[in-house]
Amino acid sequence: MRIATWNVNSVSARLPRLLEWLSSARPDVLCLQELKCAADAFPVEEVAELGYEVAAHGTGRWNGVAILSKAGLDDVRRGLLDQPGYQSQDALLEADEPRAIAATCGGVRVWSLYVPNGREPGHAHYKYKLRWLEALRATAAEELTAERPFALLGDFNIAPTDSDVWDIAKFHDSTHVTDAERAALAALGEVGLTEVYPRALKYDIPFTYWDYRALAFPQNRGMRIDLVYGNDSFTSTVADSYVDRNERKGKGQSDHAPVVVDTA
């Protein structure tokens, strides 16, 4: 089975490239993040022509996640266990953001995740990010009680190590690299998950994100923040994993590249 994850940074803006990539890469399951569209506005008919069922979770603003599958789409779940909401300074109520969706595809339990950015340490959004990650850990622990292959895939907005950013000195006092965020990733290991590390096709570190600005992509000033974690039943079957860096090239591209995992 081929399972992939991709932050498309607007599914409507990226639809031609999405359809082309589905046709060429032919994943059995694709986890998408940052849809920026409501669930009922997702281009279901277009991807159905390529053989995919869709489970989407979005409100039409920022965020939004989906799972596309040719291998079945059972037991769909939207949102984490006790998932926290975020209350911005200009909002009176907490918003329950669409950042997590799960489904069982061909016997594999898959979560598509879009972890909050955090903005900056000390910001309310950063505190929300840490609460959200704790809800993710609790959700994973709950779901791992079922004996089946299990994987978390998505944009984690965390670089696991200093080597996973192009220049750690540029990230002083920044989110994505703080001890608290990295400790939240380590907590996934405590419940029985390990990372599937993709092989590097061109550079030593398989970055997955490059800013649109300042020629970041041509100069490979990137970050590795799109990650895959699985239980032993999942990771033991992994035959290959890589970042499709070519999909970051050209016009109309996302600022993220897909991460692809092939299982035996």
Residues identified as active-site = 114, 155, 256
Rounded Cα distance, 182 and 195, in Å: 13
Task: For tokens 């590097």, name the residue.
Answer: 200
Rounded Cα distance, 206 and 75, in Å: 33
Sign of CA dihedral 52, 53, 59, 62: negative
255 annotated among ligand-binding-site residues: yes
Strand blocks (E) in 95-251 = 100-105, 108-114, 150-155, 194-195, 209-210, 222-223, 226-230, 238-243
96 annotated among ligand-binding-site residues: no
Q: Nearest-5° angle of CA 166, CA 172, CA 177?
A: 65
Task: For tokens 């990372």, name the residue.
Answer: 195
7 annotated among ligand-binding-site residues: yes
Are the C-beta atoms of 224 and 7 separated by less than 8 Å? no
Rounded Cα distance, 17 and 116, in Å: 25
246 annotated among ligand-binding-site residues: no
Q: What is the DSSP letter of 165?
A: B
Rounded Cα distance, 171 and 152, in Å: 26
Tokens of 19: 């359809």
157 annotated among ligand-binding-site residues: yes
Task: For tokens 């970041």, name the residue.
Answer: 216
Cβ-based neighbours of 81, under 8 Å, separated by 6 or more? 135, 138, 139, 142
Annotated binding site: 7, 34, 155, 157, 255-256
Annotated binding site for Mg(2+): 7, 34, 155, 157, 255-256
